[in-house]
Structure 1
Amino acid sequence: MNKLKSAMLSMAAAAALFAGGAQAAETVKMGVAAEPYPPFTVPDAQGNWSGWEIDIAQAVCAAEDLDCVITPVAWDGIIPALTSGKIDMIVASLSITDAREKIIDFSDKYYTSPTVVIEAKGAGIDAVTNEALDGMLLGVQGASIHEKYARKHFPDATIKIYATQDEANQDLYAGRLDAVQADGLALDDFLKSEDGIACCELVGNVEPDPSVISADVGFGIRQDDTALKDKLNAGIAAILENGTYEKISDEYFDFDIYGGN
């Protein structure tokens, strides 16, 4: 009887140890902007998320044994949600800028994308300059680097603010805007869509201004969260090294989204 009791206790201890090991992954609240941003982050009607950025972030988390739980947050409140502790990291195509680095920290970059301007066909914008955009109605997403850049560099354009990039794109398609400015890869996806092909065309890249805008994108983290930063950087390096990054990217893009070092 004592042997049986001892065996049962040993089994219970082993089960508890196994359960503890199974729950060992650190839970991280992964904040995404609560809007479609194809091909990076795309929700379905049931609230499930897919897209290149979701796949990359989950691969980084898996490489470092992090249980990353998707937490949708309104775009204009996503940095306050991070600093207040409602989320632990931002996965929302967040460019690494000097202004943002005064408030939050970033992981190493996980992709690179230029900022571009596209126009409605026939708008007659022949360059990405203040002179060419003088008097034009330019749509940008509010509380974004694009709003800040446009207000600084295109003061003679009429800036119209949108809650989401998709809304700006649809107004461009409908003829209610002359142009929009946004992340080049996201707008490339729109230009390849049926609506984009019908309505719009690329004007070109904006001039660099590191104080406002950057082509490098990283995961946003709190400035004091060095442990998570180290894990995310290690995870990014791991998936670049083992081919996971390339395998995921090949499903979405026919070019090198990572860019130079």
Structure 2
Amino acid sequence: MKLKLFALLLALVSSFAVAQNPAVSPSPPPPAAQPAQAQNWPVLRVAVDATYKPFTYKTPAGQLTGFDVHIAQALCNEMRRRCVFVEQVWDGMIPGLLARKYDVIISSMSITDERRRVVDFTDKYYSTPSGIVVRTGTPFTGPASLRGMRIGVLKGSTQERFAMSQLRPAGAIIVPYDAQNQVYLDIQAGRLDGTVADRVEVTAGFLNRPEGRAFGFVGPELRDRRYFGDGMGIALRKGRDELRTELNNAIRAIRANGVYDRIARLYFDFDIYGD
């Protein structure tokens, strides 16, 4: 009887744990090519980091895809612009924008006060929390529980800023990486004990994969705007007010005409836009 009760409780706990992970759909097809007339439209150069599934990543054939890529193309179609994607490592995103290597960043960039000092942002186009991921069963009551653990983070990210401010003073060893998928490889290899990452991205890119099944979230969702800002927006150089207005109008248009929701349903079974 005790064994049956234990098994039932274990099943309930397991199902609860799974429910806490945001559900992400299997990889949908890449966005369709823009219409033929797009060849005559003005170019919009869009920077992306292609190591951030399900937001921006590559198919086995090497084609860029993901929620950000779909959204960027929908916005370009709405504005009658031809999207040209430029791949960029995350830590070089804003320097590349300021150096005029591209016109905008549409790559899950959080709208933070620190970034607003050097670039402008559109309105948000989605919002998700972050979380701390370590091996399942790790006791956790707060940052001090991570003392001595090696925690990998994406260099230049809001998660790095949070980890440096909140986890390192408590004794965690924070290790920045150029790409989030490199973090997962080193967790798998035993060189890291965990990560701080966007909850949706880490679920799709690591926890839902065989190599991530021994890991899970600890602690509450991370939403403190001091670190994580006001949702994800499109970054552009200061002074480009006309382009910002054009982009904001396009965001509102695809939200109103159903295009945004159709794209979101390809990837998620929850409201990615948020409050």
Give how far 1:164 is off.
Answer: 0.9
SS where residue 219 of structure 1 aligns?
strand
**2:248 is matched with which residue: 224, 233, 239?**
233
Structure 2 CA distance, aligned partners of 1:115 and 1:205? 9
The number of residue pairs the alignment matches comes to 236
SS where residue 225 of structure 2 aligns?
coil
Deviations 1:44-103 (A, max 9, x none): 466421111100111011111111210111221110111111110001110000000000
SS where residue 175 of structure 2 aligns?
strand
Query: Aligned runs of 1:77-156 on 2, under 5 Å?
Result: 77-122=92-137, 124-127=138-141, 129-154=142-167, 155=169, 156=171
**In structure 2, what residue type is equivalent to 1:28?**
L
- Contact 1:120/1:173 (<8 A) preserved: no
Structure 2 CA distance, aligned partners of 1:50 and 1:130? 35
Equivalence for 2:186: 171
Give how far 1:200 is off.
Answer: 0.9
**2:66 is matched with which residue: 48, 51, 59?**
51
Give how far 1:255 is off.
Answer: 0.7
CA RMSD of aligned residues (A): 1.8
**In structure 1, what residue type is equivalent to 2:63?**
N
Q: Cα distance 1:125–1:181, how it changes in 2: closer, same or farther (>3 A)?
A: farther
**In structure 1, what residue type is equivalent to 2:140?**
D
Deviations 1:152-208 (A, max 9, x none): 1112211112111111112222332221001111012121222222x2111134554
Equivalence for 2:41: 25
- Contact 2:126/2:231 (<8 A) preserved: yes
Work out the percentage of aligned pairs sharing the same amino acid: 36
Equivalence for 1:191: 207
TM-score scaled by structure 2? 0.80
Equivalence for 1:17: none
TM-score scaled by structure 1? 0.84
Structure 2 CA distance, aligned partners of 1:32 and 1:209? 25
SS where residue 30 of structure 1 aligns?
strand
Give how far 1:210 is off.
Answer: 2.4
Unaligned runs of at least 5 residues, structure 1: 1-20
Q: Cα distance 1:172–1:142, how it changes in 2: closer, same or farther (>3 A)?
A: same
- Contact 2:89/2:178 (<8 A) preserved: no
Highest Rg: 1 or 2? 1
Give how far 1:215 is off.
Answer: 5.3
The answer to whether 1:160 aligns with 2:162 is no
SS where residue 211 of structure 1 aligns?
helix
SS where residue 118 of structure 1 aligns?
strand
SS where residue 177 of structure 1 aligns?
coil
Equivalence for 1:13: none
The answer to whether 1:67 aligns with 2:67 is no
Structure 1 CA distance, aligned partners of 2:143 and 2:152? 14
- Contact 1:147/1:161 (<8 A) preserved: yes
Equivalence for 2:27: none
